[in-house]
Amino acid sequence: MKRMLFAVVLVAMVFTGVQSIFAESDEPTIYVIKQGDTLWGLSDRFLKDPYYWPDLWVRNPQHITNPHLIFPGQRLKVYSDRIEVEEAGQGSTAQAGQAEAAKAPTTEMKAIAEEVVKERSFTVRGGEGFLLEKSLRPAGYIVATHQDRKLSGEDDVVYTDIGRINKTKAGARFSIFRKMNAVSHPVINVILGYKVVPLGTLRLTELEERGSKAIITKSFLEIGEGDFLWPYRERKREVYLKAADRNVSGYIVETLSGAKQIATGDVVYLDLGKAQGLKIGNMLYIVREVVPEKKIYDQRPAVKLPVNVLGALVVVEIGKNTATGLVVKNTDVIYRGDRVELKKSK
């Protein structure tokens, strides 16, 4: 019996060693990212686990600066238990050249840029709103209204949870906002934040330790309990165009109005922010991929076609991973989910 047990253990040890040798010599499959690929989809396709994509992002921060974005031409090394992004220079020089060429502005982009740059600055009125990211915390909330009114407006009295403990004084002004619907990414379906809209402004008049009385000094929409407060900033301001210092790509994830069709003058929200190098005043091109309905030759690689340039937008507000943009030019109808590109100035 002991001999049999020893034999079983020995076989198990040998088998484990063989597995270890194969794991160490496991040669990866090289996959070149194509238009339309997502981290979610690739994780599901190769590892049968769509929720692996955050791990793929964390392992490759130098190659994937934004978890929502991967670029055609990037090469992945697919192992049995993981996916890695291939280091620059390991692929062919032809692919590197194609990737570099893709960064250059097209003739359409240059024409739009020349037209937009003539304006030099754009006026924003303060009603653009923004996406409230998880990391952002409001200064306070309206916790009650005078005589329990359901809705309040200009010159009405309200009560807040901002007090002396917040190191503020009577006379301090705040902007009033309302948190609306959650905004999910149109490609990977991850919640980016909540859309918020401006409602008005108020001024604190009397303070207690943890609360205060306030008067609404301006209202654009009806105000009620639960609306939140943000340090006051002048609504109307000029946003001056600022040259880009990098190439970045992202998506239009939502609009202020909720309209499906977007045109010049509309406000949109992006999945790009300070963390991706975006700045207020940056101009981004709005583009859409041109995808053939079917392959003429099934055995050949997918054809990469020039993008269709739909217009341009200017960043007017910015968060850590999201931004608010004003569409300043459109040559075709724009939709939620269309891609945006920031092109480095030469």
pLDDT of residue 212: 97
Query: Closest Cα to residue 68, out of 298, 271, 325?
Result: 271
Q: Long-range contacts for 23-31 (Cβ within 8 Å, ≥24 apart)?
A: 23/80, 26/79, 26/80, 28/77, 28/78, 28/79, 28/84, 29/77, 29/78, 30/75, 30/76, 30/77, 30/78, 30/86, 31/75, 31/76, 31/78
Classify residue 270 by its DSSP letter: E
Work out the number of other CB atoms within 10 angstroms of the CB of residue 215. Answer: 14
pLDDT of residue 37: 67
pLDDT of residue 87: 55
pLDDT of residue 218: 94
Confirm if 340 and 270 have CB atoms less than 8 A apart. Answer: yes
Helix, strand, coil fractions of the chain, as percent rounded to 5 = 20, 35, 45
pLDDT of residue 203: 97
Full set of structural domains in the chain with CATH:
2-98 (3.10.350.10), 104-124+238-342 (2.40.37), 130-235 (2.40.10.410)
Provide the pairing of β-strand 248-255 with 228-231: unpaired
pLDDT cut 90: percent of the chain above it: 44
- CA-to-CA distance for 213 and 202, rounded, in angstroms? 10
CA 172 and chain centroid, separation: 32
- In the predicted model, residues of the chain with pLDDT beneath 70 are 1-26, 34-40, 44, 47-73, 86-104, 293-303, 345-346
Burial class (CB in 10 A: 0-12, 13-18, 19+), 50: middle
Considering only CA atoms, give the Rg of the chain. 26
pLDDT digit string, tens, across residues 233-282: 888 889 998 888 889 999 999 999 888 899 999 999 999 999 999 999 99
pLDDT cut 70: percent of the chain above it: 72
Q: Which two tokens stand for residue 72?
A: 């055609």
